[in-house]
Amino acid sequence: MKPVCLVLGAGAGIGGTVATKFAQEGYHSCLCRRSDQDGLDRLVSNIEEKGGSASGYLMNAIEENVLEDLILNIEKDVGPIEVLVYNLGAQTGMKLLNETTLKEFEWGWRMADLGLFRVAKILMPIMEERGSGTFLVTSATAAMRGNKNQHSHAAAMGGRRMLCQTLNAEFAPKGIHVAHIVVDGMVDAPDTLGKMLGEELFKQLRETKGMEHDGLVLPESVAETYYYLSQQHRSAWSHEVDIRAFSDTAWWNS
Amino acid sequence: MKPVCLVLGAGAGIGGTVATKFAQEGYHSCLCRRSDQDGLDRLVSNIEEKGGSASGYLMNAIEENVLEDLILNIEKDVGPIEVLVYNLGAQTGMKLLNETTLKEFEWGWRMADLGLFRVAKILMPIMEERGSGTFLVTSATAAMRGNKNQHSHAAAMGGRRMLCQTLNAEFAPKGIHVAHIVVDGMVDAPDTLGKMLGEELFKQLRETKGMEHDGLVLPESVAETYYYLSQQHRSAWSHEVDIRAFSDTAWWNS
Amino acid sequence: MKPVCLVLGAGAGIGGTVATKFAQEGYHSCLCRRSDQDGLDRLVSNIEEKGGSASGYLMNAIEENVLEDLILNIEKDVGPIEVLVYNLGAQTGMKLLNETTLKEFEWGWRMADLGLFRVAKILMPIMEERGSGTFLVTSATAAMRGNKNQHSHAAAMGGRRMLCQTLNAEFAPKGIHVAHIVVDGMVDAPDTLGKMLGEELFKQLRETKGMEHDGLVLPESVAETYYYLSQQHRSAWSHEVDIRAFSDTAWWNS
Amino acid sequence: MKPVCLVLGAGAGIGGTVATKFAQEGYHSCLCRRSDQDGLDRLVSNIEEKGGSASGYLMNAIEENVLEDLILNIEKDVGPIEVLVYNLGAQTGMKLLNETTLKEFEWGWRMADLGLFRVAKILMPIMEERGSGTFLVTSATAAMRGNKNQHSHAAAMGGRRMLCQTLNAEFAPKGIHVAHIVVDGMVDAPDTLGKMLGEELFKQLRETKGMEHDGLVLPESVAETYYYLSQQHRSAWSHEVDIRAFSDTAWWNS
Classify residue A206: in a domain, yes or no: no
Q: Which domain holds residue B166?
A: 4-239
Give, for all 254 residues of chain D, the pLDDT tens digit. Answer: 899 999 999 999 999 999 999 999 999 999 999 999 999 999 999 999 999 999 999 999 889 999 999 999 999 999 999 999 999 999 999 999 999 999 999 999 999 999 999 999 999 999 999 999 999 999 999 999 999 999 999 999 999 999 999 999 999 999 999 999 999 999 999 888 998 899 999 999 999 999 889 999 999 999 999 999 999 999 999 999 999 999 999 999 98
Q: Which residue of D has its CA nearest to A131?
A: D246
Classify residue A253: in a domain, yes or no: no
User: Is the CB of residue B124 less than 8 Å from the CB of residue B167?
Assistant: yes
Which among C145, C146, C254 has CB closest to A147?
Answer: C254
SS3 A96: coil
Those of residues 136-175 in D touching chain A at CB distance below 8 A are: 165, 168-169, 172-173, 175
Tell me which of A237, A248, A251 to substitute to probe the interface with D (most D C-beta atoms closer than 10 Å).
A237
User: Is the CB of residue C223 less than 8 Å from the CB of residue C20?
Assistant: yes
Which among A173, A220, A233 has CB closest to D247?
Answer: A173
Distance CA C82, CA D105 (A): 25
What pLDDT, on a 0 to 100 scale, did the predictor assign at position A253?
97
What pLDDT, on a 0 to 100 scale, did the predictor assign at position C239?
98
Using a CB–CB cutoff of 8 Å, tell me whether C117 touches chain B: no
Q: Which residue of B has its CA nearest to C233?
A: B221
Q: How confident is the model at residue B191 (pLDDT cuts 50, 70, 90)?
A: confident
Q: Which residue of C has its CA nearest to D110?
A: C106
Q: Which residues of A touch C158 (CB under 8 A)?
A: none
Say if the Cβ atoms of B148 and D253 lie within 8 Å: yes
SS3 D4: strand
C159 Cα to chain D: minimum distance (Å): 4
Residue B174, CA distances (Å) to B131, B133, D83 in order: 6, 9, 48
Per-residue pLDDT at B62 exceeds 90: no
What pLDDT, on a 0 to 100 scale, did the predictor assign at position D1?
84
Distance CA B74, CA B151 (A): 35
Per-residue pLDDT at A173 exceeds 90: yes
Q: Which residues of D touch B154 (CB under 8 A)?
A: none
ipTM of the complex: 0.97
Sign of CA dihedral B113, A165, A177, A244: positive
What pLDDT, on a 0 to 100 scale, did the predictor assign at position B1?
84
User: Is the CB of residue D204 less than 8 Å from the CB of residue D231?
Assistant: no
Q: Which residues of B touch A113 (CB under 8 A)?
A: 105, 109, 155, 159
Q: Which of B80, B64, B70, B79 is nearest to B33 (CA)?
A: B70
Q: pLDDT digits over C207-239, tens only?
A: 999 988 999 999 999 999 999 999 999 999 999
Say if the Cβ atoms of D217 and A236 lie within 8 Å: yes
Using a CB–CB cutoff of 8 Å, tell me whether A45 touches chain C: no
Classify residue A186: in a domain, yes or no: yes
What pLDDT, on a 0 to 100 scale, did the predictor assign at position B42?
97
Classify residue D218: in a domain, yes or no: yes
Q: pLDDT digits over B24-44, tens only?
A: 999 999 999 999 999 999 999
Over its C-alpha atoms, chain B yields an Rg (Å, rounded) of 17
What pLDDT, on a 0 to 100 scale, did the predictor assign at position A40?
97
Q: Using CB atoms, which chains have 3+ pairs under 8 A with A?
A: B, C, D
Amino acid symbol at A174: K
Say if the Cβ atoms of B172 and C247 lie within 8 Å: yes
Higher pLDDT: C190 or C110? It is: C110
Q: Which residues of B touch D145 (CB under 8 A)?
A: 252-253
Which among A97, A155, A165 has CB closest to B162?
Answer: A155
Classify residue C204: in a domain, yes or no: yes
Per-residue pLDDT at C1 exceeds 90: no
Alpha-carbon D79 to chain mean position: 21
CATH number at residue A155: 3.40.50.720
Classify residue A242: in a domain, yes or no: no
Distance CA A247, CA D174 (A): 8
Which among A146, A148, A252 has CB closest to C145?
Answer: A252
| Average pLDDT estimate for C10-24 | 97
User: Is the CB of residue C137 less than 8 Å from the CB of residue C88?
Assistant: no
Say if the Cβ atoms of B170 and A117 lie within 8 Å: no
Per-residue pLDDT at A62 exceeds 90: no
Using a CB–CB cutoff of 8 Å, tell me whether D252 touches chain B: yes
Amino acid symbol at A2: K
Number of domains in chain B: 1
Distance CA D134, CA A155 (A): 35
Q: Which of B163, B158, B165, B159 is nearest to B143 (CA)?
A: B158
User: CB under 8 Å to D130, separation ≥6 — which residues?
Assistant: D80
A251 Cα to chain C: minimum distance (Å): 7
Say if the Cβ atoms of D151 and C145 lie within 8 Å: no
Q: Using CB atoms, which chains have 3+ pairs under 8 A with C?
A: A, B, D
Phi/psi zone of residue A124: left (φ > 0), alpha (ψ -120 to 50 degrees), beta?
alpha
Q: Which residues of D touch C171 (CB under 8 A)?
A: 97
Q: Which residues of A touch B102 (CB under 8 A)?
A: 114, 117-118, 121
Burial A29-57 (b: 16+ CB within 10 A, else e): bbbbbbeeeebbeebbeebeeeebbbbbb
Which among A117, A148, A171 has CB closest to B166?
Answer: A148
Distance CA A186, CA A245 (A): 9
What is the overall mean pLDDT for chain A? 97
Q: pLDDT digits over B106-162, tens only?
A: 999 999 999 999 999 999 999 999 999 999 999 999 999 999 999 999 999 999 999
Q: pLDDT digits over C41-84, tens only?
A: 999 999 999 999 999 999 998 899 999 999 999 999 999 999 99
Per-residue pLDDT at A196 exceeds 90: no
Classify residue A197: in a domain, yes or no: no
What pLDDT, on a 0 to 100 scale, did the predictor assign at position B69?
97
Q: Which of C13, C88, C23, C83 is nearest to C55 (CA)?
A: C23
Q: How confident is the model at residue A191 (pLDDT cuts 50, 70, 90)?
A: confident
Classify residue D172: in a domain, yes or no: yes
Distance CA B85, CA B29 (A): 10
Higher pLDDT: A171 or A212? It is: A171
Inter-axis angle of helices C102-109 and D115-130, nearest 10: 140
What is the overall mean pLDDT for chain B? 97
Q: How confident is the model at residue C196 (pLDDT cuts 50, 70, 90)?
A: confident
Beta bridge partners of D58: D33
Q: Which residues of B touch C250 (CB under 8 A)?
A: 165, 168-169, 239
Tell me which of D206, D227, D246 to substitute to probe the interface with A (most A C-beta atoms closer than 10 Å).
D246
Distance CA B237, CA C210 (A): 15
How many helices (H) does chain C have, and how many strands (E)? 9, 7
Per-residue pLDDT at B222 exceeds 90: yes
Q: Which residues of D touch B143 (CB under 8 A)?
A: none
Q: At D208, phi and psi to the nearest 5?
A: -90, -30
